[in-house]
Amino acid sequence: MSNPSLLILPGDGIGPEVMAEVRKVIDWYGAKRDLAFDVSEDLVGGAAYDAHGMPLHDDTMAKAQEVDAVLLGAVGGPKYDVLDFSVKPERGLLRLRKEMDLFANLRPAQCFDALADFSSLKPDVVAGLDIMIVRELTSGIYFGEPRGIIEEGNERVGINTQRYTESEIDRVARSAFELAMKRDKKLCSMEKANVMESGVLWREVVTEVGKDYPEVELSHMYADAGAMQLCRWPKQFDVIVTDNLFGDLLSDAAAMLTGSLGMLPSASLGAPMANGRPKALYEPVHGSAPDIAGQGKANPIACILSFAMALRYSFDLGDEATRLEQAVEKVLADGARTADLLGEEGVDPVSTSQMGDAIVAALDASL
Catalytic site positions: 142, 192, 224, 248, 252
Pairing of strands 38-41, 5-11: parallel
Which of 8, 360 has the CB closer to ligand IPM? 8
Give me the least distance between CB of 336 and ligand IPM, in Å please: 26
Rounded to the nearest 5°, which phi and psi values hold at 74? -165, 155
Give me the least distance between CB of 262 and ligand IPM, in Å please: 14
Give me the least distance between CB of 30 and ligand IPM, in Å please: 29
Q: Is residue 248 near Mg ion by the rule CB under 5 A?
A: yes
Rounded to the nearest 5°, which phi and psi values hold at 189? -100, 135
Give me the least distance between CB of 22 and ligand IPM, in Å please: 18
Residue 176 gets the label, from left (phi > 0), alpha (psi -120 to 50) or beta, of alpha
Query: Which residue in the set 12, 68, 248, 340 belongs to the binding site for ligand IPM (CB under 6 A)?
Result: 248
Asked if residues 242 and 210 have their Cβ atoms less than 8 Å apart, the reply is: no
Which of Mg ion, ligand IPM, none does 21 bind, CB closer than 5 to 8 A by kind?
none
Instruction: Label residues 161-173 b or e (16+ Cβ within 10 Å = b).
Output: ebebeeebbebbb
Query: What separation in angstroms does the CA of 329 have from each of 17, 49, 113, 260, 283?
Result: 21, 37, 8, 14, 19
Which of 4, 12 has the CB closer to ligand IPM? 12
Residue 259 gets the label, from left (phi > 0), alpha (psi -120 to 50) or beta, of left
Q: Is residue 340 near Mg ion by the rule CB under 5 A?
A: no
Binding residues for ligand IPM, how many (CB under 6 A)?
Answer: 4
Which span sits near ligand IPM by CB under 6 A: 40-48, 88-96, 160-168, 327-335? 88-96
Q: Is residue 50 near ligand IPM by the rule CB under 6 A?
A: no
Give me the least distance between CB of 240 and Mg ion, in Å please: 15
166-182 vs 197-210: helix crossing angle, rounded to 10 = 50
Which of Mg ion, ligand IPM, none does 90 bind, CB closer than 5 to 8 A by kind?
ligand IPM
Query: What separation in angstroms does the CA of 101 have from each of 140, 185, 273?
Result: 13, 26, 12
Which span sits near ligand IPM by CB under 6 A: 86-94, 143-151, 188-196, 214-222? 86-94
Q: Is residue 93 near ligand IPM by the rule CB under 6 A?
A: yes
Other CB atoms within 10 A of residue 9 CB? 29
Q: Is residue 243 near Mg ion by the rule CB under 5 A?
A: no
Q: Is residue 205 near ligand IPM by the rule CB under 6 A?
A: no
Which of 234, 284 has the CB closer to Mg ion? 284
Give me the least distance between CB of 21 and ligand IPM, in Å please: 20
Q: Is residue 90 near ligand IPM by the rule CB under 6 A?
A: yes
Q: Is 124 exposed, middle or buried (0-12, 13-18, 19+ CB in 10 A)?
A: exposed
Which of 55, 210 has the CB closer to Mg ion? 55
Nearest to 98 by CA among 247, 281, 240, 314: 281
Which of 248, 340 has the CB closer to Mg ion? 248
Which of 42, 248 has the CB closer to Mg ion? 248
Q: For residue 250, which amino acid is it?
A: L
Q: Which residues bind ligand IPM (CB under 6 A)?
A: 90, 93-94, 248
Q: Which residues bind Mg ion (CB under 5 A)?
A: 248
